[in-house]
């Protein structure tokens, strides 16, 4: 009977010794490799895009959809706003806006972009969020 208990105690001590060995191995012997792996895993940045789509009725018609619409604005009081750079490139900007957003022609876009600069000489009174476009989505 004592032999059986001795065998059980020996097996438990062997398991405990194995656990202690793995603890020492992971925390002392292989610490550099585990620390490098932890650093890689903790500094990894994954972007998970949410599933987007339409909610459809039984007949296939759209009940709800996920479309994002944006308002494009410009800050004329920003400390990084360079009026001379805008004036240098205004024709190119106006032409591009007229091509992609034909709510105005190039001349209209030019006037719209320069309106706060020409009408308000005091830079501290210029608009912070001058609206350029409304209801713009990624589909445009």
- Cα–Cα distance between 59 and 81 in angstroms, integer? 52
- Cα–Cα distance between 110 and 108 in angstroms, integer? 5
Give the residue among 139, 58, 44 at the shortest CA–CA distance from 100: 139
pLDDT-derived band at 140, boundaries 50, 70, 90: low
Q: Are 116 and 76 in contact (CB under 8 A)?
A: yes
Taking residues 54-79, report their average pLDDT: 83
pLDDT score, position 26 = 86
pLDDT-derived band at 107, boundaries 50, 70, 90: very high
Residues 35 and 74 placed together within one structural domain of the fold: no
The answer to which of 3-7, 15-19, 42-46, 135-139 has the lowest mean pLDDT is: 135-139
Q: Are 86 and 118 in contact (CB under 8 A)?
A: no
- Boundaries of domain holding 25: 2-43
Report yes or no on 125 lying in a domain: yes
The answer to which of 24-33, 57-66, 93-102 has the lowest mean pLDDT is: 57-66
Report yes or no on 54 lying in a domain: no
Residues 73 and 130 placed together within one structural domain of the fold: yes
- Cα–Cα distance between 109 and 98 in angstroms, integer? 7
What is the model's pTM?
0.51
Task: Provide the 10 A C-beta neighbour count for residue 76.
Answer: 20
Query: In residues, how long is the chain?
Result: 140
Give the residue among 41, 64, 43 at the shortest CA–CA distance from 53: 64
- Cα–Cα distance between 1 and 98 in angstroms, integer? 96
pLDDT score, position 10 = 94
pLDDT score, position 64 = 79
Taking residues 45-56, report their average pLDDT: 76
Residues 75 and 28 placed together within one structural domain of the fold: no
Report yes or no on 114 lying in a domain: yes
Report yes or no on 58 lying in a domain: no
**Mean pLDDT across the chain:** 87
Give the residue among 123, 96, 126, 127 at the shortest CA–CA distance from 109: 96
Number of domains present in the structure of the chain: 2
């Amino acid at each position: 009977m004592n032999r059986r208990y001795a065998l059980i105690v020996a097996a438990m001590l062997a398991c405990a010794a194995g656990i202690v060995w793995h603890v020492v191995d992971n925390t002392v012997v292989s610490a550099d490799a585990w620390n490098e792996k932890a650093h890689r895993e903790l500094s990894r940045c994954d972007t998970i895009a949410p599933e987007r789509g339409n909610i459809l009725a039984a007949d296939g018609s759209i009940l709800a959809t996920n479309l994002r619409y944006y308002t494009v604005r410009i800050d004329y009081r920003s400390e990084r706003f360079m009026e001379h750079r805008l004036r240098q490139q205004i024709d190119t900007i106006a032409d591009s806006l007229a091509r992609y957003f034909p709510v105005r022609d190039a001349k209209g876009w030019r006037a719209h972009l320069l309106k706060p600069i020409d009408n308000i000489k005091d830079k501290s009174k210029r608009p912070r969020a001058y609206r350029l476009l409304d209801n713009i989505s990624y589909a445009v």
